[in-house]
Amino acid sequence: MLKKILRIATRKSPLALLQSNFIKKNLLYFYPHLIITLIPIVTRGDLILHKSLSNIGGKGSFTKELELALLDNRADIAVHSMKDIPNTIPSELCLSSISKRGNPLDAFVSNCYQSIDQLPKQAIIGTSSLRRKAQLIRYRPDLIIQPLRGNIDTRLKKLDEGKYTAIILATEGLNRLGLKNRINQIIPAEYCLPPCGQGTIGVEYRLNDHNISLLLKKIKDKNTEYITMAERSFCKKMNSGCHIPVASYAILKKNKLWLRGLVCSPNGKIFLSGERIGKPNFGEKMGYELASELLNKGALKILKNIFF
């Protein structure tokens, strides 16, 4: 018997709790002897909603408090949406992709229009993602992009109150919450490339905790690991976060990994993209190589203009 009690650190949002319970259910299927408890934690990103993520610490605003619970041994694993996890995590921790990936694409949600193409000029779109904003402006320069934060229910409520013509959300988040009926259009990657890890559940645990590593092996998905490794290596080499529009998206088909990546200026005017196709187990190398290619083609200049 590997372990009797397992403590899961999770955010308190409905989606986070749902994902943590999903992991709990899967673990109990293989290890019915386990006693699994959820430890809900409020993160900085949950508390500060009047500022953009780039102004309050980026992606780490949703993960830091959960990671501290691991480091202080108040929890055994932490469950995240993979897209919320920074490119670099504490050296004492380890990260795994868990279960098969859901839909990684973005969703267009509106009460009046069925697609981005149907939107009238000067339509107000709600999103706080610079990645989405830059790509939408590039595709439809006439649109007005305004910030929108909060959990999914909060964002939908603001749409229903008429504060936005449409909003952009993660497709899989809506699917998991039983809100598939709110999706008007799943936005093709050619219009809006998703961020690394979207649609994937990530689990962090202490690097030296071999019991936890053995427990998680049963619920890991090898193909999802290949995909997320490629996407995250691209973003890590690009040193991307919430300050710059960067996207990476990998697909695994017929034992081939197709990785696409892009970087653009916040106004969408400077746009660089590329792709790699190779063996799945070379995904990490592909990600680094693709990022290096774009950096050499001018991405480094975009980064310097934003950070300096």
Q: Give residue 149's pLDDT.
A: 85
What integer is the mean pLDDT of 270-289?
Answer: 95
- Please indicate, yes or no, whether residues 208 and 141 belong to a single structural domain of this protein: no
- Please indicate, yes or no, whether residues 95 and 3 belong to a single structural domain of this protein: yes
Q: How many domains does the chain have?
A: 3
Task: Write out the two tokens for 283.
Answer: 């995904």
Q: Give residue 1's pLDDT.
A: 45
Q: What sections of the chain are H helices per DSSP?
A: 14-30, 44-47, 64-71, 130-139, 152-160, 171-176, 210-217, 222-238, 283-294, 300-307
Instruction: Encode pLDDT of 233-271 as tens digits.
Output: 999 998 755 567 899 999 999 899 999 999 988 888 888
Rounded CA separation 159/55 (Å): 24
Q: What percent of the chain has pLDDT over 90?
A: 76
Q: Please report whether residue 192 resides in a domain.
A: no
Q: Please report whether residue 38 resides in a domain.
A: yes
Task: Write out the two tokens for 112.
Answer: 């009046």
CATH number of the domain encompassing residue 121: 3.40.190.10
How large is the C-alpha radius of gyration of the chain?
19
Instruction: Encode pLDDT of 164-174 as tens digits.
Output: 999 999 999 99
- Please indicate, yes or no, whether residues 3 and 93 belong to a single structural domain of this protein: yes
- Please indicate, yes or no, whether residues 74 and 168 belong to a single structural domain of this protein: no
Q: Give residue 265's pLDDT.
A: 86
- Please indicate, yes or no, whether residues 95 and 120 belong to a single structural domain of this protein: no
- Please indicate, yes or no, whether residues 36 and 126 belong to a single structural domain of this protein: no
- The more confidently predicted of residues 44 and 147 is 147
Q: Give residue 308's pLDDT.
A: 44
- Please indicate, yes or no, whether residues 91 and 11 belong to a single structural domain of this protein: yes
Burial grade of 300 (CB within 10 A; 0-12, 13-18, 19 or more): middle
Q: DSSP letters along 108-157, please? A: EEESS-SSGGGPPTT-EEE---HHHHHHHHHH-TT-EEE---S-HHHHHH
- Please indicate, yes or no, whether residues 209 and 269 belong to a single structural domain of this protein: no
Instruction: Encode pLDDT of 103-118 as tens digits.
Output: 999 999 999 999 999 9
Residue numbers annotated as active site: 84
Q: Nearest-CA neighbor of 26 among 201, 265, 237, 259?
A: 201
Q: Please report whether residue 281 resides in a domain.
A: yes
The confidence band for 56, taking pLDDT boundaries of 50, 70 and 90, is very low
- Please indicate, yes or no, whether residues 132 and 256 belong to a single structural domain of this protein: no
What integer is the mean pLDDT of 151-168?
Answer: 96
CB 93 within 8 A of CB 207: yes
Q: How far is the CA of 239 from the CAs of 80, 87, 123, 215, 236, in angstroms?
A: 20, 7, 33, 32, 5
What integer is the mean pLDDT of 183-200?
Answer: 95
- Please indicate, yes or no, whether residues 124 and 257 belong to a single structural domain of this protein: no
By residue range, what is the domain housing residue 240?
Answer: 222-308
Q: Please report whether residue 195 resides in a domain.
A: no
